Amino acid sequence: MDYLKTQSVKSLHGTIKISGAKNASLPLIAMTILAKNLVNIKNLPHVVDIRTLLKLLSNLGADVNFLEDRVTIDTSVLTQTKATYDIVKTMRASILVLGPILSRFGHCEVSLPGGCAIGQRPIDLHLKALEQMGANIEIKSGYIEATTPNGLQGCDIIFDKITVTGTANIIMAAVLAKGNTTITNAAREPEVVQLCEVLNESGVTIEGIGTAILTIHGTDGKLLDIKDFSIIPDRIEAGTYLCAGAITQSEITLENVEPKHLGAVLAKLEEMGSSFTTTQDTITIHPSKTIKPVKIVTQEYPAFPTDMQAQFMALATQAEGVSIIEEKLFENRFMHVSELQRMGADISLNGHTATVSGKMSLSGTDVMATDLRASSALVLAALIAKGETNIHRIYHLDRGYDALEKKLQGVGAKIERLSE
């Protein structure tokens, strides 16, 4: 099993190229199930979750060719409609195949999902919406068994709470349905927006893109001719490296980034003292000599993202004062706190709120990654911790970060991947 050995650095300097967004890639890969043609996707990140979903499509019978940062997918040869437990258990996002398979074939079996242990992310919203569209759904032996005797029918769907994966799943289900489907309280994340834009460019009329109310005009079973497209930059990866610049008080430039997707993150970094120079596709962080405390509440886009909470907690340990971080989306997303405390962080928890007192002198030690974003928080803390830090169980990190240690090495970090 691999781990990362990291030593503190005085500063970082240089340029990091941001990879394609994992969270945009997953629904777009699942979307190829709706295509009648060979689909070419560019700017895919080399992360475990992408390879897992591509393997799932291969197991369903698709012809998949993944080379460098590009993949070609031919789902016209699909022969299976069962997504088995051995793959789905490793990644919750595998549930994204449910909507498109059911819409295309009228039946499917998808294992109940596994993945990160950051808290419950129930799929009941997905299933309730599909039932509203005419699906018959049963849970048997750990599998979702769904059929559509009369095909999926467009209808009005109101999500009780915002769900990114649920929104993407129902959008894809609605594409081949009969009639129009309106989703109210839809997720507005850039990853959902790109899914809608690619479908729009492939002949599907979708109204309200980027808003909380989407209307999808179904094709009544007509498969799509999906044009070549490129994945948007990963805003969470970009935010993580901006935090690396802030915590080491270093100037770093990010390339292949979309600044408008990072509004809430940039605003909080500015509150903490950083400033920025931006172009259409670059961001340069100019950190301050003193890091200021901050108050953060995680919410759905365009508010502050839960996927950046752990990284900002690491940064807050170096602020001159007390920071308050409230996690509103996932109940178990403070598992990194105990590991940061092992490094000397002064953090107290009260329910869904963390109080971080700074400025603390962190010390290197052995720590354990507990989920994807917690892993990157430990890397950030290790950059400024005295001595050597060994971060174990980085298979969590590999689920969502493309060559993190190599990118950090490129800007001067003392970090290397070793096997234990």
DSSP E strand stretches across 8-61: 13-17, 39-42
Q: How far apart are CA 41 and CA 37, in angstroms?
A: 13
- Report CA torsion sign: 262, 204, 206, 144: negative
Report which of 298, 363, 369, 361 is spatially closest to residue 330, judged by C-alpha positions: 298
Strand partners, 40: 72
Among residues of the chain, what percentage have pLDDT more than 70? 97
Whose tokens are 């690619």? That residue is 198
Strand partners, 217: 180
- Report CA torsion sign: 44, 50, 53, 59: positive
* Type of residue numbered 322: V
The tally of CA atoms less than 13 A away on the side-chain side of residue 159 is 28
What tokens does 81 get? 């409609």
Report which of 167, 355, 171, 323 is spatially closest to residue 246, judged by C-alpha positions: 323
DSSP 3-state of 418: strand
Question: Do 236 and 18 meet the contact criterion of CB atoms below 8 Å apart?
Answer: no
DSSP string, 99-146: HHHHHHHSEEEEEPP----SS----HHHHHHHHHTT-EEEEETTEEEE
Question: Do 316 and 323 meet the contact criterion of CB atoms below 8 Å apart?
Answer: yes
Q: How far apart are CA 389 and CA 120, in angstroms?
A: 31
Task: Note the pTM of the prediction, 2 decimals.
Answer: 0.95
Whose tokens are 């400033």? That residue is 275
pLDDT on residue 118 = 32
Question: Do 51 and 13 meet the contact criterion of CB atoms below 8 Å apart?
Answer: no
pLDDT, tens digit only, all 420 positions of the chain: 999 999 999 999 999 999 999 999 999 999 999 999 999 999 999 999 999 999 999 999 999 999 999 999 999 999 899 998 888 888 878 899 999 999 999 999 998 875 434 334 468 899 999 999 999 999 888 889 999 989 999 999 999 999 999 999 999 999 999 999 999 999 999 999 999 999 999 999 999 999 999 999 999 999 999 999 999 999 999 999 999 999 999 999 999 999 999 999 999 999 999 999 999 999 999 989 899 999 999 999 999 999 999 999 999 999 999 999 999 887 667 889 999 999 999 999 999 999 999 999 999 999 999 888 889 999 999 999 999 999 999 999 999 999 999 999 999 999 999 998
196 is catalytic: no
φ/ψ (deg, to 5) at 184: -105, 140
What is the end-to-end Cα distance of the chain in Å, rounded?
6
DSSP 3-state of 230: strand
Q: Which listed residue (116, 155, 196, 243) is catalytic?
A: 116
The tally of CA atoms less than 13 A away on the side-chain side of residue 314 is 33
Question: Do 144 and 119 meet the contact criterion of CB atoms below 8 Å apart?
Answer: no
pLDDT on residue 189 = 98
Plot region of 141 (φ>0 → left; ψ -120 to 50 → alpha; else → beta)? left
pLDDT on residue 91 = 82
φ/ψ (deg, to 5) at 169: -60, -45
Report which of 56, 172, 162 is spatially closest to residue 114, judged by C-alpha positions: 56
Q: How far apart are CA 263 and CA 339, in angstroms?
A: 29
Whose tokens are 């990362």? That residue is 4
Going by the DSSP 8-state scheme, the letter that residue 410 receives in this structure is T
Q: How far apart are CA 198 and CA 193, in angstroms?
A: 9
Q: How far apart are CA 3 and CA 345, in angstroms?
A: 22
